[in-house]
Amino acid sequence: MLRAGVDLGGTKIQVAVIDPDGEILGQCRVPTPQDHGPQGVLDAIAHSVRDAVADASAQLDQLIGVGVGSPGQIDVDSGTVSHAGNLPDWSGSVAVGPRLREALGVPIEVGNDVQVAVMAESTLGAGRPYSSMIGVFCGTGVGGGIVIDDQLWLGRGAAGEIGHMVVEPDGAPCTCGKRGCLEAYAGRAAMEIEARRLVAKGKKTDLFTIMEHKGRTRLASGVWAKALAHHDHMATKLITRAEWALGIGIASAVNLLDVEAIVIGGGLGLRLGAPFVDRIRSQMMPHLLQPEKPPQVLLATLGDLGGAVGAGLLVEHTVAPTEQLGAVGDHDD
Amino acid sequence: MLRAGVDLGGTKIQVAVIDPDGEILGQCRVPTPQDHGPQGVLDAIAHSVRDAVADASAQLDQLIGVGVGSPGQIDVDSGTVSHAGNLPDWSGSVAVGPRLREALGVPIEVGNDVQVAVMAESTLGAGRPYSSMIGVFCGTGVGGGIVIDDQLWLGRGAAGEIGHMVVEPDGAPCTCGKRGCLEAYAGRAAMEIEARRLVAKGKKTDLFTIMEHKGRTRLASGVWAKALAHHDHMATKLITRAEWALGIGIASAVNLLDVEAIVIGGGLGLRLGAPFVDRIRSQMMPHLLQPEKPPQVLLATLGDLGGAVGAGLLVEHTVAPTEQLGAVGDHDD
């Protein structure tokens, strides 16, 4: 009764094989192929699932299914992914579910990458003791997910976009085209644009030197973490601004929803860690209607594997193992 | 199988007697007694329920129960109301449920005034076609309620406070003591404070003249409506500012929760009516993450009786009618 989960991102594919308790038995992580379009990505996913299964000392036919957490717009029923701008040459709609089923011979479930990561934290991570929580995932953007009565609340399909709550009317430009969104202050993409703007104006920072030392072309989360550890003035200022915006957005969400817990995750959240979470909590407090009854504000505990584990949870225990028999092995390459 | 609902406010008590379909069969409205503390208020409620039952050409023993929507902090299990600053001499905790049960001899349910009004709109009013909605009630303050899967979401007991979402950091002072809350722009109390501040600075307005003509000491909703209809500059400016803040707060809530509908109610909402709702919708649109898929923004349809009808809905159909037998009549006065 094993399940595999795939965290499909623009730069890496992370796979985890989990047992019925969500324990990780095997894993595999590869760069997302950039040169062969969707087929290259799907091939890499299929390979990685096989490798992770081998890492778990298991066989493919022991999997009751594979869950895929993907960026873009997901059609859960058909298993298609469209508008996934982060993925290479991903134009139109790609039948991720059917094509992986063909390649692996097991049932495939496809879900939203942030939402599966939030459900992983709710079910197995920091949010486990609570039946209501909001996941706030700071990475390139600021994604989120709302858990109510232990279930993900999807609204009409797009709920959870805490990154696009307005924290300052007519404020900083957001990558979504609007202004003053939380993501315009606390998303890595917007933070990098602001850092480059300040540098162009002659401001000093070690952010880009650290980036080059690390062999990166973008201000990855680790770059921000290192610059902050070295008390870089610009990095400190921009991260403090991000915490200020997160405090406002989270407090507004808490005043509206009165959830038990806030779980901070994502690349930036994980790299900046507990001190970042503590400072966000401090920034939240003055805006709470009931400061005497604050929610728990917690760091995600599943780390970089949360997305893959959460994708694995998409596969229901109830999928009949017999459904996959016969196809297994036919597509081995 | 009749139910009575009581909308208990600081200035008036409104009672409705409803049939199983929520149709209003009888009603009664009296000023809230200001001089005899909680006992005076409870006596007035009991009298008004009897009068509303008579108005419905019914008998008290036909009621399966009475619901009370009250301001303040409600303990649903014990039926007590505390911290109800709007109610006269309401210090400590008042056992509204038990004392009304004693006076009327029927089961009593007590709930939050805004929440019952939101449930009335969800069940019988503008929100009826939708399983998810947010009620935004603009009166002295800005109250709200969140309906998810046709159920009120209460969080840890305090969910729905859309009036205390931050729409402008370090913005206008709010009656809650914080700054920049939606209520600081769109609540009548805060709007009146701002109007008085502007008058003290020498700004002109007919708001206070209209107030005096109407024999009021406060800028009631009808005063704002009349001033707006007469194109009073200050009234127009402050109501436009309220719509701006409502647009931001509602859009943030929609980006977070992706509900199907927003229902605008409360005294100010009802008096300013459909044009107010249209302007709020326009102010919301630029801040939506998915402007191509906006929620419905609707005016509450149950009007001033929504609170009383919603309170009546607190009484479950399943309350056994026999529970009340015997006591009825014993306490007739």
pLDDT in tens, B283-306: 999 999 999 999 999 999 999 999
The pLDDT assigned to B325 comes to: 43
Tell how far CA B16 is from the center of its chain.
15
Q: How many CB pairs under 8 A join A and B?
A: 109
Q: Which CATH number fits domain A126-301: 3.30.420.40, 3.30.1700.10, 3.40.50.300, 3.30.70.590?
A: 3.30.420.40
Asked whether the predicted pLDDT for residue A331 surpasses 60, the reply is: no
Contacts of A248 in chain B (CB under 8 A): 166, 169
Tell if the CB–CB gap between B156 and A255 is shorter than 8 Å: no
> What are the tens digits of pLDDT across the range A216-272?
999 999 999 999 999 999 999 999 999 999 999 999 999 999 999 999 999 999 999
d(CA A260, CA A253) in angstroms, rounded, equals: 12
The pLDDT assigned to B10 comes to: 86
Tell if the CB–CB gap between A159 and B252 is shorter than 8 Å: no
**Which residue in A has a C-alpha nearest to residue B171's C-alpha?**
A168
Alpha-helical regions (H) of B65-161? 96-104, 113-123
d(CA B135, CA B115) in angstroms, rounded, equals: 9
d(CA B227, CA A65) in angstroms, rounded, equals: 65
Q: Residue A322 — pLDDT band, cuts 50, 70, 90?
A: very low
Token output for A309:
């584990």
**Which residue in B has a C-alpha nearest to residue A284's C-alpha?**
B166
> What are the tens digits of pLDDT across the range A59-114?
999 999 999 999 988 998 999 999 887 888 898 899 999 999 999 999 999 999 99
% pLDDT > 70, chain A: 95
Tell if the CB–CB gap between B146 and A256 is shorter than 8 Å: yes
Parse chain B into domains and list their residue ranges.
2-113+307-324, 126-301
Asked whether the predicted pLDDT for residue A30 surpasses 80, the reply is: yes
In this complex, the residue of A153, A154, A289 whose CB is nearest that of residue B164 is A289
The pLDDT assigned to A326 comes to: 42
Tell if the CB–CB gap between B148 and A144 is shorter than 8 Å: no
Strand pairing partners for B108? Answer: B66
Tell how far CA B145 is from the center of its chain.
10
In this complex, the residue of A132, A164, A256 whose CB is nearest that of residue B289 is A164
Strand pairing partners for B81? Answer: B74, B94
pLDDT by 10s per residue, chain B, length 333 = 899 999 999 889 999 999 999 999 999 999 999 999 999 999 999 999 999 999 999 999 999 999 999 998 899 899 999 988 788 889 889 999 999 999 999 999 999 999 999 999 999 999 999 999 999 999 999 999 999 999 999 999 899 999 999 999 999 999 899 999 999 999 999 999 999 999 999 999 999 999 999 999 999 999 999 999 999 999 999 999 999 999 999 999 999 999 999 999 999 999 999 999 999 999 999 999 999 999 999 999 999 999 999 999 999 855 444 444 444 444 433
Q: Residue A318 — pLDDT band, cuts 50, 70, 90?
A: low
B275 and A147 in contact (C-beta within 8 Å)?
no
> What are the tens digits of pLDDT across the range B122-161?
999 999 999 999 999 999 999 999 999 999 999 998 999 9
One fold for both A2-113+307-324 and A126-301?
yes
% pLDDT > 90, chain A: 89
Contacts of A260 in chain B (CB under 8 A): 156
The pLDDT assigned to A333 comes to: 37
The pLDDT assigned to A83 comes to: 87
> What are the tens digits of pLDDT across the range B211-234?
999 999 999 999 999 999 999 999
pTM of the model: 0.91
Is the CATH number 1.10.3720.10 carried by domain B2-113+307-324? no
In this complex, the residue of B132, B146, B256 whose CB is nearest that of residue A162 is B256
Averaged pLDDT score across all residues of chain A: 93
Amino acid at B281: R
